[in-house]
Amino acid sequence: METKSDVLAIRRRGKTAVPKKKTKKTRHPTARMPQAERRAQILSKAYEFFSEHGLTAQTRALADACGVSQRLLYSVFPNKAALLTAVYETEIAGPIKGVWFVLLKDRSKSVEQRMTELYHEYYDCILTRRWLRLFLYASLSDVAMAPAYIGKIVAHLLEMIVDEAALEAGLRTPDDPALKREIGWTLHGAVSHLAIRRHIYHDTNPLDAKSVITMHVKFFLAGLRTILPAT
């Protein structure tokens, strides 16, 4: 026969262990800083955060990464959409140098030299691992970052490239701007995909990226004569 103490012992063993009380995380006081400085700090961290975790990542986790409360984050940016817009303007479109468009039309240099210099700089300044990851995440989401960048910036660049190359070669540019842009993509797309292969696919091809870009520019200029008629 089981004694009372045996029964109590069995009951105790059968009981579910009481979960330990969670200790509340203590957040260190956030250092005060001017609003403009705080905005720049959050934007810089947001660029890094979203490029690693995607645009669907929670702002609560971003606030933790910034070392601020979610409430403070929303006092700087009223909502996530406003934050993503600021990230686009600062980190996606921001690095584009207006001087590139001026230099592309500097006809004191050959068009090959102009395009080679432009895309060497574009590769180094724009097509970084972080920029590409953020841009690719944006392309897969519902936000308008990628279409805005292509529609407002890249489309203009593509048309200028074709216009300048055709002018020097004595070729007639297409009347249809869509066709003109598509021809420009043969060069811009090649350079962009080179960066994707190197930074995203981790392509270990030992060829120097700038040498490959120089080669793509030559291919593009040589190929124009097979597409566009003479003037």
Q: Using alpha carbons, list the distances in angstroms from residue 24 to 28, 60, 61, 114, 158.
A: 13, 16, 17, 60, 55
**Is 231 among the domain residues?**
no
120, 72: one domain: no
63, 132: one domain: no
Taking residues 139-143, report their average pLDDT: 81
106, 130: one domain: yes
Provide φ and ψ at 25, rounded to 5°: -70, 135
Whether residue 179 is predicted with pLDDT greater than 70 in this model: the reply is yes
Query: Cα(first)–Cα(last) distance of the chain, in Å?
Result: 110
**Percent of residues, the chain, with pLDDT higher than 70:** 87
Taking residues 154-180, report their average pLDDT: 95
What angle (nearest 5°) sits at the alpha carbon of residue 198, between those of residues 136 and 66?
50
What pLDDT band is residue 143 in, cutting at 50, 70 and 90?
A: confident
Residue 10: per-residue pLDDT:
52
What pLDDT band is residue 20 in, cutting at 50, 70 and 90?
A: low
The first and second tokens of residue 64, run together, are 């933790």
Average pLDDT, the chain: 87
User: Which range has the top average pLDDT, 22-26, 81-85, 188-192?
Assistant: 188-192
Whether residue 21 is predicted with pLDDT greater than 90 in this model: the reply is no
- Of 15-19, 68-72, 131-135, 153-157, least confident by mean pLDDT is 15-19
Whether residue 35 is predicted with pLDDT greater than 90 in this model: the reply is no
How many distinct structural domains can be found in the chain? 2
The CA distance from 109 to 167, in Å, is 13
Domain that residue 68 falls in: 33-91
Contacts of 28 (CB under 8 A, 6+ apart): 67
Residue 1: per-residue pLDDT:
47
Q: Which residue has the tokens 């609003």?
A: 35
Residue 53: per-residue pLDDT:
93
**Is 58 among the domain residues?**
yes
**Is 54 among the domain residues?**
yes
70, 124: one domain: no
Provide φ and ψ at 200, rounded to 5°: -105, -45
